[in-house]
Chain A
């Protein structure tokens, strides 16, 4: 807060700091907005000034076989990979929080290691390992790889949520006669659902934006949306890229809003309990 009795130096610092941070945030934010209007450009150059308004690039995206195939592939691979990561990750997180055994820290480190190992190394290793098994150029291999990349996000968020979870509630449920399955679905799951969903969102975003491992594992028939964008940017960058980019920006805004809503809900619930 700027006090009315602030000295000129303090005033300069106050406004200078805000100006500087404003510029940095503009650097972060504006480049993303710049590409949006170009997706409505009438001519085929990805540059300003625009010559007129047109939806032709969205039409191109919706009708071109390559882009449609890429969208389809992304809509197959990412949800399946996310689902797999969420189921396996949630089960493992419950185990990691509740069970005590030697080497638990090491096992946890191994399970979240896909987040740490450089993606190119993962891509090459899986490519060389999957090829003789016939898993390269297959949806199975791609879903498996994307799920493994997403698992660490589920494990870290769900274990964090479970650490704040009062296991006396589970004891209360079973002492009232509920069997373990009922307890899980009626008590545990609703309480840790926000953690699972936000972990799942991270896993989905990772898979939906994954290029490098896909470059190694996917054949042209399995090219996902980011893979197709990578090829498009590298070969001939057209306003179709801008149209896809705009759609992806809308999608990431939606994911961010969901996450923010979950965070507020969790905050409210914590407040209510006090």
Chain B
């Protein structure tokens, strides 16, 4: 019935005579096992590091990268190294600048230098371009006089201070711009000009919209989870289908469905008019309302699932005890039941809030310009205006906010529970 297996060959018993103590050999076997299983992680770890962590890291460095002056005018910067900034720089600096601008002439580098210096002071772009047109200089003439002859601004301290300031390898410019701050000529961090202050608004809007959606999801999700937890497993499993099917349905399908429902001739407007609540169709799409409705619809399952799993574990005994001791029903709910659901509320709330903050598709398809959140601007700067520095800085802000909240979340439920989370 059974084939004879020579077990002694498959598992060699610890031989006594070879001198190595058993303990040591066991440790060695343990180490080999560890290496073997550790090696199984390697392929995935490599793929994730190379194709995910590295790209994100290099994106973040783009946000502080400042190569224009640093890479294109290295000799000028070297000549300015010991400059105290209170007297005009030495002739060597003028000569180096004239040579390097002449070398950059006609290549994309000159435009990069001009654009970068223009950020320090509007007007430097034309200064650089005008100077470059008249270069190279005659080697016999002192470079200082020749440059000042081309434009008197080369004789001003402010021009050289701007080059000096813009010459660092790294810049906080984009990160500060992402919170509506700029560095003025004296090196102080000040508020950006009124008409350029948009990102703090966008950031606050992102937080505000996420908060509204989270509160709506919490209110609706709490009732659903509460009822499901109080029903028998058979019944609650049936209700669960109503939560899980939308959860598994494509976001785009749901967005399309809301367009059908909320458009001017849509079912919701027809119903409202039939009920006599309004005479003409209401504008329900391409505004805040449409975005809120669709986002609550998409994210509600993410609230119900953690709430339900927490409520399912709450023993009904405590509520019964409170009631039998004469505590009024609502008071016992508030004092006894509700505090036990707090882990679920925290987890579900943070999960929905985190996912909300990164939303792009729903506001892009259902919202107007005033509904666009941080993600929209990141995509905008990447694809439309090719301002990668700004896209990177805004990404850093969004990433920081997300990771911060995620760390709070991980403390509540632990990392394995995030399987509810579908990246959207």
Contacts and interface: CB of A to CB of B under 8 A. Distances in A.
Contacts of B62: 128
Contacts of B244: 256
Contacts of A129: 51, 54-55, 58-59
B51 A126 contact: yes
B395 A121 contact: yes
Contact of A28 (B51, B246, B260): B246
Nearest to A155: B44
Given A34-B257, A99-B34, A101-B38, A156 B418 contact: yes
A147 B45 CA distance: 13
B252 A226 contact: yes
Nearest to A148: B52
B7 A175 contact: yes
Interface string A11-43: 000000110110011011101101100100000
A215 B244 CA distance: 27
Contacts of A29: 242, 245-246
Give chain A's interface secondary structure class.
helix
B419 A35 contact: no
Contacts of B45: 92, 107, 110-111
A82 interface: no
A35 B379 contact: no
A11 B164 CA distance: 78
B248 A205 contact: yes
A28 B220 CA distance: 11
Interface string A164-201: 00000000001111000000000000000000000000
B258 interface: yes
Interface string A111-134: 111111111111111111110000
B375 interface: yes
Contacts of A112: 415, 418
Interface string B46-57: 011101111110
A28 B301 contact: yes
A31 B257 contact: yes
A153 B249 CA distance: 17
Interface stretch (B14-22, B140-148, B263-271): B263-271
Contacts of A253: 245, 248
Contact of A120 (B358, B365, B419): B358
Interface stretch (B114-122, B180-188, B195-203, B398-406): B398-406
A233 B40 contact: no
Give chain B's interface secondary structure class.
helix
A159 interface: yes
B222 to A, nearest CB: 10
A13 B55 CA distance: 54
Contacts of B406: 116
Q: Which of B7, B48, B49, B243 has the most CB of A within 10 A?
A: B48
Given A111-B48, A177-B5, A95 B40 contact: yes
Contacts of A160: 416, 419
Contact of A96 (B5, B41, B418, B424): B41
A115 B44 contact: no
Given A153-B419, A212-B361, A233 B256 contact: yes
B220 A24 contact: yes
A188 to B, nearest CB: 12
Given A47-B260, A114-B48, A245 B253 contact: yes
Interface residues of A, number: 94
A157 interface: yes
Contacts of B47: 88, 144, 147-148
Contacts of B254: 31-32
B334 interface: no
A89 interface: yes
A151 B418 CA distance: 13
Contact of B378 (A89, A117, A121): A121
B379 A120 contact: yes
Contacts of A124: 59, 378-379, 382, 391-392, 395
Given A28-B300, A88-B47, A256 B252 contact: no
Interface in B198-255: 220, 223-224, 226-227, 239, 241-246, 248-255
Contacts of A215: 379
A160 B248 CA distance: 21
A211 interface: yes
A99 B35 CA distance: 7
Nearest to A109: B415
A80 interface: no
B1 interface: no
Given A34-B261, A100-B34, A123-B379, A92 B41 contact: yes
Contacts of B10: 174-177
A237 interface: yes
A52 B421 CA distance: 40
B40 A94 contact: yes
Q: Which of A88, A121, A215 has the most CB of B within 10 A?
A: A121
B297 interface: yes
Interface in B20-49: 33-35, 37-45, 47-49
Contacts of B395: 120-121, 124-125
A262 interface: no
Interface of A: 17-18, 20-21, 24-25, 27-29, 31-32, 34-35, 38, 46-48, 88-89, 91-92, 94-96, 98-101, 107-130, 144-145, 147-149, 151-153, 155-157, 159-160, 174-177, 202, 205-206, 208-212, 215-216, 226, 229-230, 233-234, 237, 241-242, 245, 248-249, 252-253, 255-256
Given A88-B43, A92-B44, A233-B252, 17 more contacts: A28-B242, A28-B301, A91-B40, A95-B42, A99-B37, A119-B424, A121-B59, A124-B382, A124-B391, A126-B55, A129-B58, A144-B47, A205-B422, A206-B423, A209-B422, A215-B379, A256-B241
25 contacts: A24-B223, A25-B243, A31-B261, A31-B297, A34-B260, A47-B266, A48-B267, A95-B40, A99-B37, A99-B38, A101-B38, A107-B41, A118-B358, A119-B424, A120-B358, A129-B55, A147-B47, A151-B44, A156-B415, A202-B419, A205-B422, A209-B250, A209-B251, A226-B250, A253-B248
